[in-house]
Protein backbone atom coordinates (compact mmCIF):
# COMPACT_ATOMS: atom_id res chain seq x y z
CA UNK A 1 0.00 0.00 0.00
CA UNK A 2 2.70 2.43 1.04
CA UNK A 3 4.75 1.61 -1.99
CA UNK A 4 1.83 2.21 -4.27
CA UNK A 5 1.35 5.64 -2.69
CA UNK A 6 4.99 6.45 -3.10
CA UNK A 7 4.89 5.61 -6.79
CA UNK A 8 1.75 7.68 -7.22
CA UNK A 9 3.40 10.63 -5.48
CA UNK A 10 6.53 10.31 -7.57
CA UNK A 11 4.63 10.19 -10.84
CA UNK A 12 2.57 13.19 -9.82
CA UNK A 13 5.77 15.07 -9.09
CA UNK A 14 7.24 14.15 -12.45
CA UNK A 15 4.05 15.24 -14.15
CA UNK A 16 4.13 18.64 -12.48
CA UNK A 17 7.81 19.07 -13.11
CA UNK A 18 7.37 18.55 -16.82
CA UNK A 19 4.60 21.13 -16.91
CA UNK A 20 6.78 23.69 -15.19
CA UNK A 21 9.50 23.02 -17.71
CA UNK A 22 7.07 23.81 -20.52
CA UNK A 23 6.27 27.14 -18.94
CA UNK A 24 9.88 28.02 -18.52
CA UNK A 25 10.57 27.48 -22.20
CA UNK A 26 8.34 30.39 -23.14
CA UNK A 27 10.43 33.53 -23.73
CA UNK A 28 10.03 35.80 -20.73
CA UNK A 29 11.19 39.00 -22.34
CA UNK A 30 8.37 39.08 -24.87
CA UNK A 31 5.75 41.39 -23.33
CA UNK A 32 4.67 42.93 -20.04
CA UNK A 33 2.80 40.44 -17.87
CA UNK A 34 -0.92 40.13 -18.52
CA UNK A 35 -3.62 37.95 -17.03
CA UNK A 36 -4.02 36.14 -20.33
CA UNK A 37 -0.48 35.29 -21.41
CA UNK A 38 -0.51 31.73 -20.14
CA UNK A 39 2.51 32.40 -17.92
CA UNK A 40 2.81 32.80 -14.14
CA UNK A 41 4.40 36.24 -14.06
CA UNK A 42 3.96 39.67 -12.50
CA UNK A 43 2.32 39.35 -9.09
CA UNK A 44 0.28 36.33 -10.11
CA UNK A 45 0.16 33.49 -7.62
CA UNK A 46 -0.51 30.94 -10.36
CA UNK A 47 -0.81 31.03 -14.15
CA UNK A 48 -2.89 34.10 -15.07
CA UNK A 49 -4.59 34.32 -11.70
CA UNK A 50 -4.06 35.70 -8.24
CA UNK A 51 -2.37 39.03 -7.40
CA UNK A 52 -3.86 41.74 -9.60
CA UNK A 53 -5.62 39.15 -11.79
CA UNK A 54 -8.82 37.34 -10.86
CA UNK A 55 -8.40 35.03 -7.87
CA UNK A 56 -7.17 31.54 -8.63
CA UNK A 57 -9.57 28.65 -8.28
CA UNK A 58 -8.10 27.13 -5.17
CA UNK A 59 -10.75 24.47 -4.84
CA UNK A 60 -11.18 25.69 -1.27
CA UNK A 61 -14.65 25.64 0.20
CA UNK A 62 -14.52 28.24 2.96
CA UNK A 63 -17.50 27.79 5.31
CA UNK A 64 -19.10 30.70 7.20
CA UNK A 65 -18.25 29.27 10.57
CA UNK A 66 -15.58 26.89 11.86
CA UNK A 67 -17.53 23.75 10.95
CA UNK A 68 -15.77 20.92 9.14
CA UNK A 69 -17.15 17.48 8.46
CA UNK A 70 -16.15 14.28 6.70
CA UNK A 71 -19.01 12.18 5.43
CA UNK A 72 -21.38 14.03 7.70
CA UNK A 73 -19.25 13.58 10.78
CA UNK A 74 -17.64 16.46 12.69
CA UNK A 75 -13.87 16.50 12.28
CA UNK A 76 -13.03 19.34 14.69
CA UNK A 77 -11.74 18.30 18.10
CA UNK A 78 -9.60 20.14 20.64
CA UNK A 79 -10.61 18.66 23.98
CA UNK A 80 -7.05 18.72 25.29
CA UNK A 81 -6.80 22.46 24.78
CA UNK A 82 -10.12 23.13 26.47
CA UNK A 83 -8.97 21.03 29.41
CA UNK A 84 -5.74 23.00 29.83
CA UNK A 85 -7.52 26.35 29.62
CA UNK A 86 -9.89 25.20 32.37
CA UNK A 87 -6.94 24.03 34.45
CA UNK A 88 -5.33 27.43 33.93
CA UNK A 89 -8.41 29.22 35.24
CA UNK A 90 -8.48 27.04 38.37
CA UNK A 91 -4.77 27.60 39.02
CA UNK A 92 -5.35 31.36 38.86
CA UNK A 93 -8.11 31.06 41.46
CA UNK A 94 -5.73 29.19 43.75
CA UNK A 95 -3.32 32.16 43.63
CA UNK A 96 -6.01 34.14 45.45
CA UNK A 97 -6.64 31.58 48.20
CA UNK A 98 -4.21 32.51 50.94
CA UNK A 99 -4.73 29.12 52.61
CA UNK A 100 -3.43 27.21 49.57
CA UNK A 101 0.02 25.64 49.92
CA UNK A 102 2.73 25.93 47.31
CA UNK A 103 2.62 22.15 46.94
CA UNK A 104 -1.08 22.28 46.15
CA UNK A 105 -0.77 24.98 43.48
CA UNK A 106 2.31 23.31 42.06
CA UNK A 107 0.43 20.01 41.82
CA UNK A 108 -2.36 21.78 39.91
CA UNK A 109 0.18 23.26 37.53
CA UNK A 110 1.97 19.94 36.94
CA UNK A 111 -1.17 17.82 37.18
CA UNK A 112 -0.88 14.05 36.99
CA UNK A 113 -3.71 11.84 35.80
CA UNK A 114 -6.06 10.91 38.62
CA UNK A 115 -4.63 13.32 41.19
CA UNK A 116 -7.29 15.21 43.10
CA UNK A 117 -5.98 18.68 42.21
CA UNK A 118 -9.03 20.46 40.82
CA UNK A 119 -12.64 21.21 41.73
CA UNK A 120 -13.69 19.89 38.34
CA UNK A 121 -13.54 16.07 38.46
CA UNK A 122 -13.05 15.87 34.69
CA UNK A 123 -9.84 17.82 35.05
CA UNK A 124 -8.62 15.44 37.75
CA UNK A 125 -9.24 12.46 35.48
CA UNK A 126 -7.32 14.05 32.62
CA UNK A 127 -3.76 13.09 31.75
CA UNK A 128 -3.09 16.64 30.50
CA UNK A 129 -1.15 19.28 32.37
CA UNK A 130 -0.40 22.96 31.86
CA UNK A 131 3.23 22.71 32.93
CA UNK A 132 4.10 20.05 30.34
CA UNK A 133 2.96 22.44 27.61
CA UNK A 134 4.70 25.51 29.02
CA UNK A 135 7.46 26.58 26.62
CA UNK A 136 6.98 23.29 24.80
CA UNK A 137 6.72 24.19 21.11
CA UNK A 138 8.68 22.17 18.57
CA UNK A 139 10.04 25.26 16.81
CA UNK A 140 11.35 27.21 19.80
CA UNK A 141 12.04 24.53 22.38
CA UNK A 142 12.43 21.29 20.43
CA UNK A 143 16.16 21.83 20.58
CA UNK A 144 16.33 24.19 23.53
CA UNK A 145 15.69 22.22 26.66
CA UNK A 146 17.70 24.77 28.62
CA UNK A 147 15.38 27.73 28.05
CA UNK A 148 12.40 25.44 28.50
CA UNK A 149 13.67 24.44 31.92
CA UNK A 150 14.49 28.03 32.88
CA UNK A 151 11.04 29.24 31.85
CA UNK A 152 9.22 26.46 33.71
CA UNK A 153 11.34 27.22 36.76
CA UNK A 154 10.18 30.81 36.53
CA UNK A 155 6.51 29.76 36.63
CA UNK A 156 7.26 27.43 39.55
CA UNK A 157 8.99 30.38 41.21
CA UNK A 158 5.96 32.65 40.88
CA UNK A 159 3.86 30.02 42.62
CA UNK A 160 6.26 29.68 45.55
CA UNK A 161 6.80 33.44 45.77
CA UNK A 162 3.04 33.99 46.01
CA UNK A 163 2.82 31.48 48.85
CA UNK A 164 6.04 32.44 50.65
CA UNK A 165 6.03 36.22 50.23
CA UNK A 166 2.48 37.38 49.62
CA UNK A 167 0.24 34.94 51.54
CA UNK A 168 1.92 35.65 54.92
CA UNK A 169 1.23 39.37 54.35
CA UNK A 170 -2.35 38.88 53.12
CA UNK A 171 -3.68 41.15 55.88
CA UNK A 172 -0.88 43.68 55.82
CA UNK A 173 -0.94 46.97 53.92
CA UNK A 174 1.65 46.92 51.13
CA UNK A 175 4.31 49.58 51.07
CA UNK A 176 7.62 50.04 49.33
CA UNK A 177 9.69 47.04 50.35
CA UNK A 178 6.78 45.26 52.05
CA UNK A 179 4.45 42.76 50.42
CA UNK A 180 0.75 43.00 51.16
CA UNK A 181 -2.56 44.34 49.95
CA UNK A 182 -3.25 47.62 48.18
CA UNK A 183 -6.36 49.29 46.80
CA UNK A 184 -6.97 49.55 43.07
CA UNK A 185 -10.24 51.44 42.73
CA UNK A 186 -12.79 49.27 44.48
CA UNK A 187 -10.60 46.16 44.03
CA UNK A 188 -7.90 45.00 46.38
CA UNK A 189 -4.62 43.73 44.88
CA UNK A 190 -2.00 41.57 46.59
CA UNK A 191 1.56 42.45 45.65
CA UNK A 192 5.15 41.53 46.44
CA UNK A 193 7.61 43.85 48.15
CA UNK A 194 8.46 45.18 44.69
CA UNK A 195 4.81 45.78 43.78
CA UNK A 196 4.42 42.71 41.57
CA UNK A 197 1.19 40.70 41.45
CA UNK A 198 2.48 37.18 40.92
CA UNK A 199 -0.90 35.90 39.78
CA UNK A 200 -0.80 38.42 36.94
CA UNK A 201 2.73 37.37 35.99
CA UNK A 202 1.61 33.76 35.93
CA UNK A 203 -1.58 34.52 34.01
CA UNK A 204 -0.20 36.85 31.37
CA UNK A 205 3.00 34.81 31.17
CA UNK A 206 0.97 31.71 30.31
CA UNK A 207 -0.71 33.59 27.47
CA UNK A 208 2.70 33.52 25.83
CA UNK A 209 4.30 30.36 27.10
CA UNK A 210 1.22 28.16 26.74
CA UNK A 211 -1.30 29.50 24.24
CA UNK A 212 0.77 31.66 21.89
CA UNK A 213 3.73 29.29 21.90
CA UNK A 214 1.58 26.24 21.22
CA UNK A 215 -0.38 27.96 18.46
CA UNK A 216 2.33 29.85 16.60
CA UNK A 217 5.44 27.83 17.23
CA UNK A 218 3.98 24.39 17.42
CA UNK A 219 0.66 23.60 15.77
CA UNK A 220 0.91 26.13 12.93
CA UNK A 221 4.49 25.13 12.22
CA UNK A 222 5.12 23.03 9.11
CA UNK A 223 7.35 20.90 11.31
CA UNK A 224 4.21 19.78 13.12
CA UNK A 225 1.61 20.07 10.37
CA UNK A 226 3.71 18.18 7.86
CA UNK A 227 5.37 15.78 10.28
CA UNK A 228 5.94 12.22 9.11
CA UNK A 229 3.42 11.24 6.44
CA UNK A 230 0.82 13.87 7.42
CA UNK A 231 0.75 15.34 3.90
CA UNK A 232 0.30 12.01 2.19
CA UNK A 233 -2.38 10.99 4.60
CA UNK A 234 -4.18 14.29 4.26
CA UNK A 235 -3.91 14.15 0.46
CA UNK A 236 -5.53 10.75 0.54
CA UNK A 237 -8.04 11.42 3.30
CA UNK A 238 -6.43 8.82 5.50
CA UNK A 239 -7.79 9.63 8.95
CA UNK A 240 -6.11 9.07 12.29
CA UNK A 241 -6.87 5.68 13.75
CA UNK A 242 -10.40 5.56 15.09
CA UNK A 243 -10.97 9.27 14.34
CA UNK A 244 -12.88 11.28 11.77
CA UNK A 245 -10.01 13.70 11.10
CA UNK A 246 -6.61 13.52 9.47
CA UNK A 247 -3.63 14.25 11.71
CA UNK A 248 -2.95 17.50 9.86
CA UNK A 249 -6.54 18.69 10.34
CA UNK A 250 -6.29 17.85 14.00
CA UNK A 251 -3.02 19.73 14.50
CA UNK A 252 -4.58 22.84 13.02
CA UNK A 253 -7.63 22.42 15.26
CA UNK A 254 -5.42 22.11 18.31
CA UNK A 255 -3.97 25.52 17.47
CA UNK A 256 -7.53 26.78 17.14
CA UNK A 257 -8.44 25.25 20.51
CA UNK A 258 -5.80 27.26 22.37
CA UNK A 259 -7.44 30.42 21.04
CA UNK A 260 -11.11 29.47 21.24
CA UNK A 261 -11.36 26.37 23.41
CA UNK A 262 -13.83 27.79 25.92
CA UNK A 263 -16.16 29.81 23.72
CA UNK A 264 -19.81 28.82 24.04
CA UNK A 265 -20.05 28.20 20.31
CA UNK A 266 -16.54 27.31 19.24
CA UNK A 267 -17.61 27.49 15.58
CA UNK A 268 -18.38 31.20 16.02
CA UNK A 269 -16.05 32.25 18.82
CA UNK A 270 -16.07 36.01 18.26
CA UNK A 271 -19.58 36.14 19.70
CA UNK A 272 -18.20 35.77 23.24
CA UNK A 273 -14.52 36.62 23.33
CA UNK A 274 -13.34 36.67 26.93
CA UNK A 275 -14.48 33.10 27.53
CA UNK A 276 -11.19 32.33 29.28
CA UNK A 277 -8.54 34.42 31.06
CA UNK A 278 -5.90 33.83 28.43
CA UNK A 279 -5.40 34.74 24.79
CA UNK A 280 -9.12 34.69 23.98
CA UNK A 281 -9.85 37.52 26.37
CA UNK A 282 -7.13 39.76 24.99
CA UNK A 283 -7.99 39.19 21.34
CA UNK A 284 -11.32 40.61 22.46
CA UNK A 285 -9.76 43.51 24.34
CA UNK A 286 -7.55 44.56 21.46
CA UNK A 287 -10.46 44.25 19.05
CA UNK A 288 -12.45 46.53 21.35
CA UNK A 289 -9.91 49.33 20.81
CA UNK A 290 -11.03 51.35 17.78
CA UNK A 291 -7.45 51.51 16.55
CA UNK A 292 -7.44 47.74 16.10
CA UNK A 293 -11.10 46.93 15.45
CA UNK A 294 -11.42 43.97 13.10
CA UNK A 295 -8.32 42.10 14.26
CA UNK A 296 -10.43 39.40 15.94
CA UNK A 297 -12.24 38.77 12.68
CA UNK A 298 -8.96 38.67 10.74
CA UNK A 299 -7.55 36.07 13.12
CA UNK A 300 -10.70 33.96 13.01
CA UNK A 301 -10.95 34.16 9.21
CA UNK A 302 -7.33 33.08 8.84
CA UNK A 303 -7.90 30.09 11.11
CA UNK A 304 -11.00 29.14 9.15
CA UNK A 305 -9.56 29.60 5.67
CA UNK A 306 -6.38 27.76 6.67
CA UNK A 307 -8.43 24.83 7.90
CA UNK A 308 -10.54 24.86 4.72
CA UNK A 309 -7.31 24.88 2.72
CA UNK A 310 -6.19 21.72 4.50
CA UNK A 311 -9.45 20.06 3.47
CA UNK A 312 -8.75 21.20 -0.11
CA UNK A 313 -5.13 19.99 0.19
CA UNK A 314 -3.93 23.47 -0.68
CA UNK A 315 -0.91 23.91 1.57
CA UNK A 316 0.15 27.20 0.04
CA UNK A 317 -3.04 28.89 1.19
CA UNK A 318 -2.79 27.05 4.52
CA UNK A 319 0.66 28.43 5.16
CA UNK A 320 -0.32 31.95 4.10
CA UNK A 321 -3.02 31.86 6.75
CA UNK A 322 -0.58 30.56 9.33
CA UNK A 323 1.68 33.54 8.65
CA UNK A 324 -1.26 35.93 9.05
CA UNK A 325 -2.13 34.33 12.38
CA UNK A 326 1.48 34.58 13.54
CA UNK A 327 1.61 38.27 12.81
CA UNK A 328 -1.79 39.12 14.26
CA UNK A 329 -1.53 37.13 17.48
CA UNK A 330 2.00 38.40 18.07
CA UNK A 331 0.64 41.91 17.59
CA UNK A 332 -2.10 41.29 20.17
CA UNK A 333 0.53 40.38 22.76
CA UNK A 334 2.66 43.42 21.94
CA UNK A 335 -0.28 45.83 21.99
CA UNK A 336 -1.30 44.65 25.45
CA UNK A 337 2.27 44.91 26.74
CA UNK A 338 2.48 48.54 25.63
CA UNK A 339 -1.10 49.23 26.72
CA UNK A 340 -0.47 48.20 30.31
CA UNK A 341 2.86 50.03 30.54
CA UNK A 342 1.10 53.19 29.46
CA UNK A 343 -1.90 52.64 31.72
CA UNK A 344 0.50 52.18 34.61
CA UNK A 345 2.28 55.37 33.70
CA UNK A 346 -1.03 57.23 33.64
CA UNK A 347 -2.03 55.91 37.08
CA UNK A 348 1.31 56.99 38.55
CA UNK A 349 1.09 60.46 37.04
CA UNK A 350 -2.05 61.41 38.97
CA UNK A 351 -1.95 64.16 41.57
CA UNK A 352 -2.31 61.34 44.09
CA UNK A 353 -0.44 58.46 42.43
CA UNK A 354 -2.73 55.43 42.21
CA UNK A 355 -0.08 52.87 43.15
CA UNK A 356 -2.45 49.91 43.40
CA UNK A 357 -3.91 50.62 39.97
CA UNK A 358 -0.46 51.14 38.50
CA UNK A 359 0.94 47.94 40.00
CA UNK A 360 -1.96 45.94 38.67
CA UNK A 361 -1.46 47.36 35.18
CA UNK A 362 2.30 46.98 35.29
CA UNK A 363 2.08 43.40 36.57
CA UNK A 364 -0.13 42.60 33.60
CA UNK A 365 2.37 44.44 31.43
CA UNK A 366 5.20 42.40 32.95
CA UNK A 367 3.42 39.18 31.95
CA UNK A 368 2.74 40.40 28.42
CA UNK A 369 6.36 41.50 28.00
CA UNK A 370 7.38 38.05 29.22
CA UNK A 371 5.08 36.59 26.56
CA UNK A 372 6.82 38.49 23.76
CA UNK A 373 9.53 35.80 23.62
CA UNK A 374 6.87 33.34 22.43
CA UNK A 375 5.64 35.48 19.53
CA UNK A 376 6.60 34.66 15.96
CA UNK A 377 7.55 36.85 13.05
CA UNK A 378 5.77 35.79 9.87
CA UNK A 379 7.96 33.98 7.33
CA UNK A 380 10.74 33.67 9.84
CA UNK A 381 12.04 31.21 12.36
CA UNK A 382 12.44 33.95 14.97
CA UNK A 383 10.21 35.40 17.64
CA UNK A 384 9.79 39.19 17.59
CA UNK A 385 11.94 39.40 20.72
CA UNK A 386 14.50 36.95 22.00
CA UNK A 387 14.46 35.62 25.53
CA UNK A 388 17.53 37.73 26.27
CA UNK A 389 15.82 40.90 25.08
CA UNK A 390 12.73 40.14 27.12
CA UNK A 391 14.77 39.43 30.23
CA UNK A 392 16.55 42.75 29.79
CA UNK A 393 13.21 44.59 29.48
CA UNK A 394 12.01 43.04 32.71
CA UNK A 395 15.19 43.92 34.56
CA UNK A 396 14.75 47.50 33.33
CA UNK A 397 11.11 47.60 34.43
CA UNK A 398 12.13 46.77 38.00
CA UNK A 399 15.47 48.56 37.87
CA UNK A 400 14.74 52.21 38.67
CA UNK A 401 15.24 51.66 42.39
CA UNK A 402 15.56 48.98 45.00
CA UNK A 403 11.79 48.66 45.41
CA UNK A 404 10.93 47.74 41.85
CA UNK A 405 7.61 49.13 40.65
CA UNK A 406 7.43 51.54 43.59
CA UNK A 407 10.34 53.39 41.97
CA UNK A 408 9.57 53.00 38.26
CA UNK A 409 9.80 56.20 36.20
CA UNK A 410 7.90 57.52 33.18
CA UNK A 411 11.15 57.49 31.24
CA UNK A 412 11.55 53.75 31.73
CA UNK A 413 7.91 53.01 30.90
CA UNK A 414 8.08 55.09 27.72
CA UNK A 415 11.40 53.61 26.64
CA UNK A 416 10.08 50.07 27.04
CA UNK A 417 6.86 50.97 25.22
CA UNK A 418 8.75 52.46 22.28
CA UNK A 419 11.16 49.54 22.09
CA UNK A 420 8.25 47.12 21.82
CA UNK A 421 6.05 49.12 19.46
CA UNK A 422 8.79 49.89 16.96
CA UNK A 423 8.94 46.26 15.83
CA UNK A 424 5.25 46.29 15.02
CA UNK A 425 2.86 48.20 12.85
CA UNK A 426 1.29 50.26 15.64
CA UNK A 427 2.23 53.28 17.74
CA UNK A 428 2.50 53.63 21.49
CA UNK A 429 -0.34 56.14 21.40
CA UNK A 430 -2.62 53.69 19.58
CA UNK A 431 -1.99 50.98 22.14
CA UNK A 432 -2.18 53.28 25.16
CA UNK A 433 -5.94 53.83 25.45
Partner 1 sequence: MKRFSVITLLISLVWACTSDNAVSDEPAEVSFERGPMLVNWADNIIKPSYESFSENLTTLVNSFETFRADTNVSNLISYRDSWVEAYMSWQTVAMFEIGPAESVDFRFSMNTYPTNTDNINSHLASGEYDLSLSSNRSSKGFPALDYLINGLGDTDDEIVAKYTSTDKEELMMYSEDVLNDMVLLTTQVLDGWNSGYRTTFVENDGSSATASVDRFVNDYIFYFEKFLRAGKMGIPLGVFSGSPLPENVEAFYKADISKDLFLKGLQASQDFFNGKHFSSTVKGESLASYLVNLDTSEDREDLSNVINSQFDKSRELVVALDNFKIEIENNNPATNMLLAYDEVQRLVPLLKTDMVSAMSIGIDFVDADGD
Which residues form the interface with partner 1 (CB under 8 A)? 171, 173, 181-183, 185-186, 188-189, 277, 281, 343, 346, 350-352, 356, 361, 364, 433
- Nearest distance from C-beta of residue 133 to partner 1, angstroms: 23
- Nearest distance from C-beta of residue 287 to partner 1, angstroms: 15
- Nearest distance from C-beta of residue 284 to partner 1, angstroms: 11
Which residues, in sequence order, are bridge partners of residue 54? none
Closest CA to 397 of 349, 356, 364: 364
- Nearest distance from C-beta of residue 186 to partner 1, angstroms: 6
Interaxial angle between packed helices 145-161 and 102-109, expressed in degrees from 0 to 180 and rounded to the nearest 10: 140
- Nearest distance from C-beta of residue 348 to partner 1, angstroms: 13
Query: What number of H helices and E strands is found in the chain?
Result: 18, 4
**Please, which residue, 351 or 425, has the CB nearer to partner 1?**
351
**Please, which residue, 189 or 250, has the CB nearer to partner 1?**
189
- Nearest distance from C-beta of residue 174 to partner 1, angstroms: 9
**Please, which residue, 55 or 185, has the CB nearer to partner 1?**
185
**Please, which residue, 139 or 364, has the CB nearer to partner 1?**
364
Report CA 292 to chain centroid distance, whole Å.
Answer: 17
Which residues, in sequence order, are bridge partners of residue 310? none
**Please, which residue, 181 or 235, has the CB nearer to partner 1?**
181
**Please, which residue, 20 or 186, has the CB nearer to partner 1?**
186
The helix/strand/coil state of 178 is strand
How far apart are alpha carbons 371 and 337 in whole angstroms? Answer: 9
List all residues 6 or more positions away from 25 whose beta carbon is below 8 Å from its beta carbon. Answer: none
Count Cα neighbours of 358 within 13 Å in the Cβ-side half-sphere: 23
For residue 279, how many other CB atoms are within 10 A of its CB? 27
**Please, which residue, 188 or 379, has the CB nearer to partner 1?**
188
How far apart are alpha carbons 335 and 242 in whole angstroms? Answer: 42
Instruction: Confirm if 259 and 303 have CB atoms less than 8 A apart.
Output: yes
- Nearest distance from C-beta of residue 211 to partner 1, angstroms: 16
Q: What is the DSSP string of 390-405?
A: HHHHHHHHTTTSTTGG
Amino acid sequence: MKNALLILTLSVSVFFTSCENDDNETPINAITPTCTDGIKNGDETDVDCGGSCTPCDTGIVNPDSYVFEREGENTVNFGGQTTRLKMGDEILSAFKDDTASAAKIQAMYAHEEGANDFEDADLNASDKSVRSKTAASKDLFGANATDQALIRAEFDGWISAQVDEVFPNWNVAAEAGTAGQIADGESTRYVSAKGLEYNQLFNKGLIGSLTVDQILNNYLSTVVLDESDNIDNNNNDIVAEGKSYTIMEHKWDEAYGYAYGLNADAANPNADLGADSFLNKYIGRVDGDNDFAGIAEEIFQAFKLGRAAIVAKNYEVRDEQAEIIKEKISTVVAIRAVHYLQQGKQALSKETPAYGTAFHDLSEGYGFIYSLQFTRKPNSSDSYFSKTEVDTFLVDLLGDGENGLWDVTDVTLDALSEAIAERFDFTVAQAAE
